Amino acid sequence: MKSCLIYIDHKEIQNSIDLLEVARQMFQDEPYETTGVEFGNQDVTPIEGFDYLIQVHHPKIKLYDQVAVTDVMVQIQEANAYDCILIPATYYGRILAPRLSMHLGVGLVADVTAIGHYNNDLEMIRPAFSGRIMAGIVSRSQSPIMMSIRQGVFHYEDQNNKVTKTMKYVPTQVKDGGISCLSVKKKEQIYDIRESDVLVSGGGGVVKSFHHLEKLATKLGGQVSASRKIVDQGLATRSIQVGQSGKTVSPKLYIAIGIYGSIQHVEGLKNVPHMISVNINRDAPICSLSDIVVEGDAVAFIDGLMKKIEENEGTVL
């Protein structure tokens, strides 16, 4: 039976659990079992869906010390010989995965966004050229197959109500990578745009009126997001950026205001059923992807729509 090891990043637990969907797509009808590995005590989010869960405990392990974490992962792999290792492409995951794959002497595909099968080979599909093209990568037959997986793309639906067998692993030795954390400053936690059903998104065309978007977003029960241009101008933080170097989102409604629609931006939109674009240029690429194209000024649109909504608010059907 094939076996799959999934690394659970303590900062992105749900995103890590979603990697179970990657395993499901990889193995298809072949029987397989999954093992999650988490470092430390994560009582915060329940970890479900795995056949096994390894909890690594050691007082000396610092999660930011990738020398230490890699070494423990090597120990676990050498003890169990998993057929594949999946790691979420989080900040830490993107350092751990290449270290681990180099140590194990196997190839690694980064930032996978789709799984395919190419001539009986597993095909790992990922964006290249900053999201402008997709590349389908195959790995020489080697074990373990290793991938880092882009967040927010795969979603796991627990169908079996599996009972997970939990095991503790206490490494006898922990490597010291010579790193210590002097301070941590948490960034102002705004909202997570991935959780919003409605996003009112601003781009380079609304640099001067970006603040107008908020009232429309609030009215529609949604949030404001932004393209890279707005973030680069310092008008919004990268945490609300949609796109290749930002987040991948799947809102039910995406209103793109003053957004050109470069591939790197559109790369961040996945399965969005309804899209409205507002642009002074009806031929901007984003317009080809929209249900409705409003050709005109953004502020005129927002004010007009707000007025219409407020006028009709009193009406109770």
267 binds other proteins (CB under 8 A): yes
Could you tell me the CA-to-CA distances from 4 to 15, 19, 144, 152, 316 in Å, in that order?
Answer: 16, 10, 9, 20, 54
Query: Which amino acid appears at position 315 of this protein?
Result: T
204 binds other proteins (CB under 8 A): no
Indicate which single residue of 253, 256, 257, 259 sits in contact with other proteins (rule: CB under 8 A): 253
Dihedrals phi, psi of 258, to nearest 5 degrees = 65, 30
List residues bridging with 81 in a β-sheet. Answer: none
- Part in contact with other proteins (CB under 8 A); list of ranges 24-32, 46-54, 76-84, 294-302: 294-302
249: closest CA among 283, 222, 231? 222
295 binds other proteins (CB under 8 A): yes
Indicate which single residue of 21, 106, 204, 235 sits in contact with other proteins (rule: CB under 8 A): 106
Q: What is the closest distance, in whole angstroms, from the C-beta atom of residue 161 to other proteins in the complex?
A: 31
On whether the CB atoms of residues 16 and 149 are closer than 8 A, the answer is no
Long-range contacts of 270-273 (CB under 8 A, 24+ apart): 270/152, 270/153
By CB under 8 A, the count of residues binding other proteins is 88
Of 86 and 97, which has the nearer Cβ to other proteins?
97
Of 1 and 133, which has the nearer Cβ to other proteins?
133
Q: What is the closest distance, in whole angstroms, from the C-beta atom of residue 41 to other proteins in the complex?
A: 20
Footprint on residues 212-251 left by other proteins (CB under 8 A): 220-221, 239
Q: Is 49 left (phi over 0), alpha (psi -120 to 50) or beta?
A: left
270 binds other proteins (CB under 8 A): no
Indicate which single residue of 118, 155, 166, 218 sits in contact with other proteins (rule: CB under 8 A): 118
**E strand or H helix at 202, and its extent?**
strand 198-202
Q: x-or-dash pattern for other proteins, window 56-95, by CB under 8 A?
A: --------xxxx--x-------------------xx--xx
113 binds other proteins (CB under 8 A): no
Of 235 and 276, which has the nearer Cβ to other proteins?
276
316 binds other proteins (CB under 8 A): no
Q: At 146, list the tokens.
A: 């290793």
206: closest CA among 270, 258, 156, 263? 258
Footprint on residues 22-51 left by other proteins (CB under 8 A): none
Query: Which amino acid appears at position 113 of this protein?
Result: T
